[in-house]
Amino acid sequence: MFTVYEAAVDYLFGRLPMYQAIGKAAYKADLKTPETLDKYLGRPHRKFTSIHVAGTNGKGSVSHILAATLQAAGYTVGLYTSPHLKDFRERIKINGTPVFPADVLSFVNEHYEWIEKNQASFFEMTTALAFDYFARRKVDIAVVETGMGGRLDATNIIRPALCVITNIGLDHTEHLGGTLEAIAREKAGIIKWRTPVIIGETLPETEHVFRETARKQKAPLLFAKDCVHVMPDGVYGQRQHFIVQFADAPLATLRVAVDLLGEYQQYNVQAALAALETLRSLPCRVSIPTGNLLYGMEHVAQLTGLRGRWEILEHNPLVICDAGHNAHGLRHSLKQLAETPHHRLHIVFGVVADKDLSAILPLFPRDALYYFTQADLPRALDAADLAAQCHAAGLYGEIVPNVREALSLAKSRATPADVIFVGGSNFVVAEVI
């Protein structure tokens, strides 16, 4: 039994298999344990309305946008996301406030014997903790992000009012499959019987998968592009603006400001708005007045605590970090980076050991100065090994194994007109914010 929160969290980190730390060995390809654990806890997820969000990229941003908007409309909103950047409690929030240490401590102590007996994984226990916490705190609605995939994800025991699948890209191929179609089938596994599903971005290789799965589940299928049209309208200060047209009111436009600066947020805003419009028409009777919607979207980061998405850390020189870590996500962020005015580009770069570098290194600029580094976790690829593979791909720089020291060196060499980008891994970003 544990007497302090820190000891309980250390137990979860160290005793249970954790994908964030050890990768493939922590992955479980079935829902037996989550279902058994859910029954043991009294089916807590059935005590609140939920929205289930999956996708290769953007699911975190979409989840936070939905949570912020619902919160602004006056609902008590649970938000479950992963991984965390700095603090375990980031994963479980109600109205932007992380789960209280005392609640984590009491949950681990109360269920310690069950955990030991059944050897649940870190993610399975964290998911159960979130659902139990949301039920006990009587949230009105919870936004639940999948950890990886969908069909076999521990979150996939819920019965949501609405499902959202943001996009499909090649990531976690060792678990989800090596083609876009195979990955789409895993993500489509969250589609439930007669439950509406929103598809954020559409690809020719994956559209038929969603249509086929939705037909089998008799689930109303909506593509975001058919529901709402979102057009960029400039960046002013720390907010990105969009002009929005809804399909059911094509002559009316809405100007939306979002405090998330990555250009890729256009697609996430479109998916979130399509989801919110659909939610309004469902039996759960969610009401979101336009004024509340606009306020929620303008204050996503403030209301939910979202960080690490094209986040500007400093000026003169401009220091940007972004958590994009696969080819699908990096393609967008590196395009925006190339379009950002700069004299010289410095890139603090680190990845996990199982990252497919052959898919992402061709995306990186050859004329940047690189600082090859590694996050402080067992899964991190050794900085020297990373440098060797990058050199072979025509990317050159220095080896600095400590992330903060790498950023410090980049800042010492940069002029006020330069740009420093920190990325390649959630864990590298975590160490600079």
What is the per-residue pLDDT across 209-267, written as a single tens digit (0 to 9) for each? 999 999 999 999 999 999 999 999 999 988 999 999 998 876 679 999 999 998 999 99
In this structure, how many other beta carbons lie within 10 angstroms of the beta carbon of residue 416?
9
pLDDT of the residue at 22: 47
pLDDT value for 29? 67
**Strand-pair partners of 137:** none
> Mean pLDDT over all residues of the chain?
91
Cis peptide bond upstream of 160, omega within 30: no
The token pair at 244 is 């929005």
Q: Model confidence over 109-138: pLDDT tens digits?
A: 999 999 889 888 889 999 999 999 999 999
| CATH 3.90.190.20 domain range(s) in the chain | 311-432
User: What is residue 173's predicted lDDT score, i.e. its pLDDT?
Assistant: 53
Euclidean distance between CA atoms 48 and 160, whole angstroms: 9
The pLDDT, as a whole number, for residue 379 is 84
Across the range 283-309, mean pLDDT stands at 93
Q: Is the pLDDT of residue 397 over 50?
A: yes
Residue whose C-alpha is closest to residue 221's, from 266, 148, 141, 162? 162
The span from the CA of 422 to the CA of 433, in Å, is 10
Q: Please give the pLDDT value at position 18.
A: 54
**In this structure, how many other beta carbons lie within 10 angstroms of the beta carbon of residue 100?**
15
Helix (H), strand (E), coil (C) string for the chain: CCCCHHHHHHHHHHHCCCHHHHHHHHCCCCCHHHHHHHHHCCCHHHHCEEEEEECCCCHHHHHHHHHHHHHHCCCCEEEECCCCCCCHHHHEEECCEECCHHHHHHHHHHCHHHHHHHCCCHHHHHHHHHHHHHHHCCCCEEEEECCCCCCCCHHHHCCCCEEEECCCCCCCHHHHCCCHHHHHHHHHHHCCCCCCEEECCCCHHHHHHHHHHHHHCCCCEEEHHHHEEEEEEEEECCEEEEEEEECCEEEEEEEEEECCCCCCHHHHHHHHHHHHHHHHCCCCCCCCCHHHHHHHHHCHHHHHCCCCCCEEEECCCEEEECCCCCHHHHHHHHHHHHHCCCCCEEEEECCECCCCHHHHHHHCCCCCEEEEEECCCCCECCHHHHHHHHHHCCCCEEEEEEHHHHHHHHHHHCCCCCEEEEECCHHHHHHHC
Distances (CA, A) of 253 to 63, 206, 244, 319: 24, 30, 5, 34
Whether the per-residue pLDDT at 197 is higher than 70: the answer is yes
Q: State the pTM of this model.
A: 0.92
CATH assignment of 311-432, given 3.40.50.620, 3.90.190.20, 3.40.250.10, 3.40.50.1220? Answer: 3.90.190.20
Higher pLDDT, 74 or 176: 74
Antiparallel, parallel or unpaired: β 345-349 and 369-374: parallel
Render pLDDT for 352-361 as a digit per residue (tens, 0 to 9): 988 889 989 9
The domain 5-304 having CATH identifier 2.40.40.20: the answer here is no
Sequence length of the chain is: 433
- CATH 3.40.1190.10, the chain: domain bounds: 5-304
User: pLDDT tens for residues 156-188?
Assistant: 999 999 999 998 875 555 556 678 888 899 999
